[in-house]
Structure 1
Amino acid sequence: MTASDIPIRVGDPGDWDAIWNLLGQVFHDSPSAEASAVDQAVFEPARSLVLEDDGAIVGHGAAYTRDLTVPGAVLPAAHVTLVGVAPTHRRRGLLTRMMHRQLREIAAAGREPIAVLWASESKIYQRFGYGHAAHRLRLDVPTPEVHLPDTPTRGRLRAVDTDAGRKDFATVYEHLRPHRVGWSSRDEAWWSYTLADVEAHRHGATPLQAVVYGTPDGPAGYALWRTKGDWNERGADGRVEVREVAAADPDACLALWRFLFSIDLTRHVSVHHAALDEPLQYLVDDARRLGASIGDGLWIRVVDLPAALAGRRYAAPLDVVLDVTDPLLEANTGRWRLTVDDTGTATCTPTSSPADLSCTVLELGTVYLGAVRLAALAAAGKVTEHTPGALRRATASFGWHRMPQPVEVF
């Protein structure tokens, strides 16, 4: 059977074990029945695509049905995940066939104007029109060398186990989510997934721990973390591995970070999913000691161009004609007039007017969350300005007042 003869079919609940084993092989993970059960609980077979060769599953891709916060709005977004091809079947065009079918099906369904994913290898998904829209900030802080203000805060910290704190976590998260670009919706199943404490994922650290910051008006923040004990010739050298910090106001932000920096017998705090404008950088007395580095985060694919561009909000008024090329989803190709009023609300309609700017759908995905500047892409030769001043105006409008935060891997 040639690669083109290998059929793609919709998944079935009974495929899960074979899918899990395939992905374990692809991503070099050791088998874990506990981890398998956690992932299976959010698996959506109807959104799963399976490549099957002689009875064996050799390729897979799927999507979760969730919303994503974008600048000024919350939109349905296909959360693409669980993608892999068996080592025996690589470089035969199977991934391309599968990703093309998935995007066409998302477009045909008409529910989700964008798709979002984390890329295991960044060069792969650009081929399918995904643009790198949100970086994440990683911190590795030697806590004895960094100090936070000792300003009193009005609330109180309360240690909780994850089950007892779940309602408070959800209250804070849902209060913040409409305004935190890059955050995904979490129903009960996704909270169970988020708080699952799979032993194989601890890598020698403690079970997941939690604290809630409470105020007279209710919970205003929480932190999730693990600790990993260590010692050296100078004594304790433990590490706090931060999973998630959510703070509704500066008081909560200061109190939570001050707590995490002061856990007994630890000398380091590591963070892997902070926003590039994480407030901690402006609280500490020596930001250089935060050990900041940048990694990739969310990749965005514009699926329904007019719905996607009209669905988000903008930072400044704009009237611009975009000439866009999309070799996969042809309905996106053409000239589009994007008009933004004083409130940041937009319309996007086809037009025959001359183009002010031209680009591919990948560049629109790259700037979609407001973090990457159109002018930067133009400087790299990825966006062409045809009308003087259009690039400056569009760059200002596509921006946003806060950077996106890729808070979780899905």
Structure 2
Amino acid sequence: MTTTERPHASPRSPRPRHPLRTIEAHEFDAWATMVTTTYGQDWRDGALRNAAHTFEPERTLAAYDGPDIVGGVSVYGRTLTVPGALVPVAGITLVAVLPTHRRRGILTSMMRRQLTDLHASQGEPIAALNAAEATIYGRYGYGVASHLAAVDADKRAMRLRPDTDLGSGSIRLLAPAAARPLFEKVYDQARRQTVGWVDRTEKYWNARLRDDVELFRDGATALRFAVHTEPDGAATGYALYRSRGDTVRLTELAALTTTSYAALWNFVINLDAHSRLTYDAAVDEPLGHLLVDPRPTQATVVDNLWVRLVDVDRALTARRYATALDVVLDVEDDVCPWNAGRYRLSTDGVESVTCERVRGVRPDLRLSVAELGSVYLGGPTLASLAAAGRVEELRPGAVAAASVAFRGRREPFHVSGAAFPAF
């Protein structure tokens, strides 16, 4: 090399057009303005309901165009009840990209970055969300893991069977401050045995019960708080509801016993001055078995919770299975390449579960990570997915065996509620 020659400059990675970073606490208003604008709202105090009190800036990722926030996605760290276990879950919410910046790859970059960060930090083994648009999240490896029945009922025709045991407890209407400690205890016991429910720490209870601003009621009344107690004073159930015109809207019902469950429904059905009742329920809601005539409860079944396995091995060992199983899974994952490959899932159907990578072993089932997300909560079955061509059986009998093992005791159901966060 002569003194006049210069080495070639090393190539530099092009600077991202819309760089991503977590937001600072002082950027909340700018981020909230972006979210509300995306969803056709005006940003004002309370427009995101209680997001200001629950969001975690260090887990809220934003895309920037210069100094401006043009997209974002947030994570809430929660604990989700899954078959046989309580598992940390990344609750994904408030996903938004301004209409001026659509189709620039911003959403894809945010979703990939979010999953990569969870994997790199060995954080929550699964992610979950309620999808505002059902066509979006499948391409990022999310699968529909639960459904809900949106019920519109003619309350005048709803009557409990005459042999229904209502127990010896009583129901009282309480003020929020008096009801809350009772609600918290009942909910925490109920959610531990209800697949699809999540924990509620203080800030989430604050959000749940603060979400009663007249601005968002659309003409409905404030929430009513009905608590079921036993003769010894122990709370064993509650119902949250409001009304508008001739319709009662039941927003949440939790019960710890069959008698408190029946008594609360009897109370709701017999509320005066209302002819209709709307509520969201599990697909296998037991109420129909208590009614003389179940036909007045007409339901529309829609997707509820979408689940995504961040790390296949950690996720599959976190839950429990209905029966013993020994199966080799060939997993495809275009978004999270660390998941792609073959895994041997073995369980005794009680407590022992292992999920290890294997090589040179013939697989029994071939499927994508989205299908594993769909069956993770024990609702949709591998058999139904295989019938749709989404699971390939490579060993006869493998689909049937895995379907039974993954199945839960009841259909999973996620209580999303009306309060932000949406998850």
Q: Given the two structures, how large is their TM-score scaled by the length of structure 1? A: 0.95
Q: Which has the larger radius of gyration?
A: 2
Identity of aligned residues (%): 41
Q: Does 138-147 or 194-203 show the bigger shift? A: 194-203
**TM-superposed deviation, 1:40:** 0.6
The one-character-per-residue Cα deviations of 1:319-358 (angstroms, maximum 9, x if unpaired) are 1000101122222111111111041542111112210001
What is the CA–CA distance in structure 2 between the aligned matches of 1:281 and 1:26, rounded to whole Å?
A: 40
Unaligned residue ranges in structure 1 (runs of 5+): 230-237
1:251 aligns with 2:262: no
Match of 1:223 among 228, 236, 239: 239
Return the offset for 1:203: 0.9
User: Quick one: which amino acid aligns to residue 345 of structure 2?
Assistant: L
**Aligned residue number for residue 38 of structure 2:** 26
- Distance in 1 of aligned mates of 2:264 and 2:49: 32
Q: Does 1:72 align with 2:84?
A: yes
Distance 2:73 2:104 in 1: 16
Residue identity opposite 1:199 in structure 2: E
| Structure 1 residue 211: Cα displacement | 0.5
| CA distance, structure 2, for counterparts of residue 308 and residue 333 of structure 1 | 14
- Are residues 1:406 and 2:420 paired? no
Pair 1:350-2:362 in alignment: no
The alpha carbon displacement at 1:243 in A equals 0.6
Partner of 1:164: 178
Report if the CA contact (8 A) 2:33-2:42 is conserved: no
Q: Which residue of 2 aligns with 1:362?
A: 370
Alignment of 1:192 onto 2:206 = yes
Distance change >3 Å, CA 43–CA 387, structure 1 → 2: same
| Distance in 2, Cα, partners of 1:159 & 1:268 | 21
* 2:310 pairs with 1:294: no
Question: 2-side partners of 1:72 and 1:49: how far apart?
Answer: 32
Q: Where does 1:178-327 land on structure 2 (aligned, <5 Å)? A: 178-196=192-210, 197-215=212-230, 216=232, 218-229=234-245, 238-272=246-280, 274-327=281-334
Deviation at 1:37, TM superposition (A): 6.1
Equivalent residues of 2:83, 2:377 under 8 A apart: yes
* 1:127 maps to 2:156: no
Matched residue count: 400
> In the alignment, which residue of structure 1 is the partner of 2:95?
83
Kept in 2, the 8 Å contact 1:316–1:344? The answer is: no
State the alpha-carbon separation in 2 of the partners of residues 198 and 53 from structure 1. 34
Q: Which runs of 5+ in 2 are unaligned?
A: 1-13, 417-421
Is the 8 Å Cα contact of residues 196 and 412 (structure 2) preserved in structure 1? yes
Q: Counterpart of 1:61 in 2: which secondary structure?
A: strand
CA contact under 8 A between 2:349 and 2:405: conserved in structure 1? no
Matching of residues 41-120 of structure 1 within 5 Å: 41-120=53-132
Amino acid in structure 1 at the alignment position of 2:189: H
Query: How far, CA to CA, are the matches of 2:127 and 2:48 in structure 1?
Result: 24
Tell me if the contact between 2:321 and 2:349 (Cα under 8 Å) persists in the aligned partners.
no
* Secondary structure in structure 1 of the residue aligned to 2:192: helix
Please say if residues 63 and 70 of structure 2, whose CA atoms lie closer than 8 Å, have aligned partners that are also in contact.
yes
Cα pair 2:239 2:253 within 8 Å, conserved: yes
- Opposite residue 344 of structure 2, the aligned amino acid is R
Per-residue CA distance 1:5-28 (angstroms, 9 max, x = gap) = 111111111111112111111112
- 1:101-131 Cα distance to aligned partner (Å, 9 max, x none): 0110011111210000011111111111000
Alignment RMSD: 1.5
Q: What is the one-letter code of the residue matched to 2:152?
A: D
Aligned equivalents of 2:383, 2:40: Cα separation in 1: 39
Question: CA–CA distance in 2 between the matches of 1:30 and 1:97?
Answer: 26
- Do 2:36 and 2:48's aligned partners in 1 also have CA atoms closer than 8 Å? no
For 2:380 and 2:306, the matched residues in 1 are separated by 12
Residue 336 (structure 1) aligned with residue 348 (structure 2): no
The whole-number CA distance in structure 1 between the counterparts of 2:145 and 2:49 is: 31
Q: Do 1:148 and 1:283's aligned partners in 2 also have CA atoms closer than 8 Å?
A: yes
Q: Is the 8 A contact 1:226 1:241 kept in 2?
A: yes
Letter of the 1:218 partner, please give it.
A
Aligned-partner Cα distance in 2 for 1:308–1:217: 40
- Does structure 2 conserve the Cα–Cα contact (< 8 Å) formed by 1:3 and 1:92? no
Q: Is the 8 A contact 1:65 1:79 kept in 2?
A: yes
Do the aligned partners of residues 30 and 243 (structure 1) sit closer, same or farther apart at CA in structure 2, a change above 3 Å counting? farther
For residue 94 of structure 2, give the secondary structure of its aligned residue in structure 1: strand
**Local SS of the residue matching 1:362:** helix
TM-score under structure 2 normalisation?
0.92
Match in the other structure for 1:371:
379
Per the TM alignment, residue 29 of structure 1 is displaced from its structure 2 partner at its CA by 2.7
Deviation at 1:31, TM superposition (A): 3.8
Do 2:379 and 2:408's aligned partners in 1 also have CA atoms closer than 8 Å? yes
Choose 182-191 or 17-26, whichever is displaced more: 17-26
Distance 1:309 1:76 in 2: 13
State the Cα distance separating 1:3 from its structure 2 match. 10
CA shift for structure 1 position 4: 4.2
The answer for the alignment partner of 1:155 in structure 2 is 169
